[in-house]
Amino acid sequence: MNYQNVKLVVVGDGGVGKSAFLITATTNAFPGEYIPTVFDNYSSNIMLDGKAYNVGLWDTAGQEDYDRLRPLSYPMTDVFLVCFDIGSRTSFENIESKWLPELNHHMPETPKILVGNKRDLRSAQQNTSRDPITYEEGKALAKRLGMQYLENSSLTQDGVKDVMSAAIRVGAGHVQANTFTCRCQGSRFCIHKVWRKSGQSKKADLGPQPPIMPPAGQAPWIEVMTSTFADDWKKMVLGNDDSADVKFTFSGNAPTLHAHQTILSAASPIFRELFLGSKKVNAVPRKYQAIFSDISWSIAGNNFDSGKAKNSTELVEFQLCSDISCESFEKILQFLYTGLPGFSEIEDSDFVLDVKKTAAKFHLSWLEQVCENKFGEDVYLNPSIGTYLNDETGAKLKSLFFNKSQLCDFRFRVDGQVVFAHKVVLMARCDVMAAMLGGRFKEGKTENETPILDASLAAFLAVLEYIYTDHAPLETVDPLEVLVLADRFGLPRLVTLCELYITKRVDRMIQKKVADSTSDVINLLNMAQVYNADQLAQWCRHFIASNYSVFESTGDLHLLQGDDVDFVQENRWPPLSYIRELEEYEAKMNEMGKGDKCSVM
């Protein structure tokens, strides 16, 4: 199949939605996050009106830092999409004051389409004080400038295909002028035009050709580690009873099982009522006599085995009814702790049925569903159920116990304030705190309070919330402070969450101008390396290399250290090879300029 080549370039202020438009147009998926672009280009094969097109899509940086480099992507363009953000009057006003003058200077005869992005913001802002651009305003500007006007929303995909189709039709119909125009005058921005029939290979063009600017490349992807929430709690239910304050006994010679009031309260309404109720008595409430034959409360060390729950205030022992087996109840406990009962791949169906009956007695409808799914077509849903229940348990741990005195058996002192905590949660979720509370540090031996130095209260509470819930409020605290504490307490997944939030914050910071943040990015790189944020360090190195000219212009490159200097030099963009090719091209154009004035080719 013969494809007609069309080169499409999008321009406009930073953050107006240029990259989101191209991604949505080619993948049918909205990227979600702001994607700052240096220069990126790729191609897409598209069928339109019964014809096949190979559309070269060129994404450009709108920040003023790239005003000198951006025109290097303009040669041989067939159509420009000049974009603004419907929610931003500044970007709309810059169409006439910045973008049209730039394009008309370098590519005066290339067709241009005015495009309003983020059309969905118009309805979202109807009742706010902001002033979105109306369709009539966009249409009037386009008419005054002699351009076609179109709108779209990458978020809803409304109008995206219409814009792309119009651009291809206009670009395909554009035949570049058969004149040779030279504006070089020793400038790197020389744009020359030569005859090129629609669809003809660019290799057939006459005259010296400017080198093709390579894309800057994609930033390293920040991978957030898989949650260990269920695995962390599984360690506590299987074999770790040193911190237990609950004991379950069974009829016959069945072994005793141990558990923790904190996690049982978060995962089970029945245990929540029994443990957190205002009145604790050594008697079984009537409504629970079908599952418990006896309940007895005691003070630590009186009735329990020596060494068990030595840091708890109240201990409780449950005698389960004779029709509840130790084996089935162990699956109940594992479900409450981890969200899944931990069935083996080949499990006896009668045993699964017994677990289901026991689950019904404890009002655990999700466990009943898991048991039903075990031997049915919906077994694939069980892991998702477990993930959902882990989130629910984390939310309950937060609402019931996070920085609350209820069942508290440990305290931190941060910035002079007391922060309440629960040893079982700390030991399950944080190996550093488990070592601290297990006796290897002073706090594990005699102290029930420890100071946290060199940390703000807000950052420490964010870390503690992550320990309790597997989520951290990084939108409302400084993720850099949290990153330092996450490394200090050995929480690698929280480190990766901080890395992701920090990169997004940098993206927002440089939305208008990169040069204002160059020293901050280099300092961030140095900090990431100190606190073992390897992904963040790689992201910063790529960012510096991809914005080399900006960092060079600010004079901040001297802040780089060690191997970072070599990496940035080796991976700088534009690469030295391109700079050399560009210099050779300019030399040829200057040589041509020494003779007669430019003539028709």
Find the mean pLDDT for residues 561-583.
89
How far apart (Å, rounded) are the C-alpha atoms in residues 142 and 113?
8
Residue 104: strand, helix, or coil: helix
How far apart (Å, rounded) are the C-alpha atoms in residues 8 and 168?
8
Find the mean pLDDT for residues 247-258.
94
Encoded amino acid at 168, one letter: I
Find the mean pLDDT for residues 537-549.
92
- Where in the chain do CATH 3.30.710.10 domains reside? 228-300+313-397, 411-418+448-571
Tokens 């940390």, located at residue = 455
How far apart (Å, rounded) are the C-alpha atoms in residues 92 and 186?
33
Q: Which carries the bigger pLDDT value, residue 479 or residue 445?
A: 479
Q: Are 77 and 110 in contact (CB under 8 A)?
A: yes
Indicate the fold that domain 411-418+448-571 takes in CATH.
Potassium Channel Kv1.1; Chain A (3.30.710)
How far apart (Å, rounded) are the C-alpha atoms in residues 223 and 533?
12
Q: Are 524 and 490 in contact (CB under 8 A)?
A: no
pLDDT grade for 367, boundaries at 50, 70 and 90: very high
Tokens of 260: 């923790």
HSE-CB of 286 using CA atoms within 13 angstroms = 0
Find the mean pLDDT for residues 371-383.
93
How far apart (Å, rounded) are the C-alpha atoms in residues 199 and 180?
19
CATH 3.40.50.300 applies to domain 4-176: yes
Other Cβ atoms less than 10 A from the Cβ of 90: the count is 12
Arithmetic mean of pLDDT over the chain: 85
* Closest to 578 (Cα-Cα) out of 72, 99, 96: 72
| Maximum pairwise Cα distance, the chain | 109
DSSP letter assigned to residue 412 = E
pLDDT of residue 445: 44
Tell me the pLDDT tens digit for each residue of 92-119. 999 999 999 999 998 999 999 999 999 9
pLDDT of residue 75: 85
Find the mean pLDDT for residues 150-166.
93
Q: Are 397 and 425 in contact (CB under 8 A)?
A: yes
pLDDT of residue 241: 62
In CATH terms, 228-300+313-397 corresponds, of 2.60.40.1180, 3.30.710.10, 1.10.1040.10, 3.40.50.20, to 3.30.710.10
Residues in Cβ contact with 595 at an 8 Å cutoff, skipping those fewer than 6 apart: none
Q: Are 40 and 216 in contact (CB under 8 A)?
A: yes
Tell me the pLDDT tens digit for each residue of 441-469. 444 444 688 999 999 999 999 999 999 99
Tokens of 122: 């118009």
DSSP string of 128-192, one letter each residue: SS--PPPHHHHHHHHHHHT-EEEE-BTTTTBTHHHHHHHHHHHHHT--B-SS-----TT-TT---
Backbone angles phi, psi at 492, to 5 degrees: -65, -35
Share of the chain above pLDDT 90, in %: 61
How far apart (Å, rounded) are the C-alpha atoms in residues 60 and 542?
18
pLDDT of residue 359: 98
Tell me the pLDDT tens digit for each residue of 8-19. 999 999 889 998
